[in-house]
Amino acid sequence: MFAPTKEREGGGGGFTHKPGDVVAIGSAKLGTLVNRVRTSDQAPPWQFGVRALIASLAARGLIAASTAAMEGHPPQGVAAAVRSAP
């Protein structure tokens, strides 16, 4: 598990992400997820859910296709979400 080890601004305030921060987490097998921190009123709606994640992982051979079998077709919006991923 990753956790920051240094205080952000000193004085016992600990660490918290602030708008504009770039946060990245990754692994050699799955790649890297990079996001810029925003407040919820500025962020676009989340449309890439668990079903889309499983379908995407299966399409890339990272999990067994049988694990991702969902009514014989990927969930709505998966193709667009996969194309837009870096």
pLDDT of 37 higher than 70: yes
pLDDT (tens digit per residue) in 10-35: 777 677 788 898 888 888 887 888 98
71 vs 55, residue with greater confidence: 55
The mean pLDDT value for 51-70 works out to 78
Q: What are phi and psi of 24, to 5 degrees?
A: -130, 140
Task: Provide the pLDDT confidence category of residue 38 given band limits of 50, 70 and 90.
Answer: very high
> Can you give the pLDDT at residue 84?
38
Residue 38 neighbours by CB under 8 Å, 6+ apart: 19
pTM over 0.75: no
Q: Report the amino acid identity of residue 48.
A: F
Tokens, residue 10: 């000193």
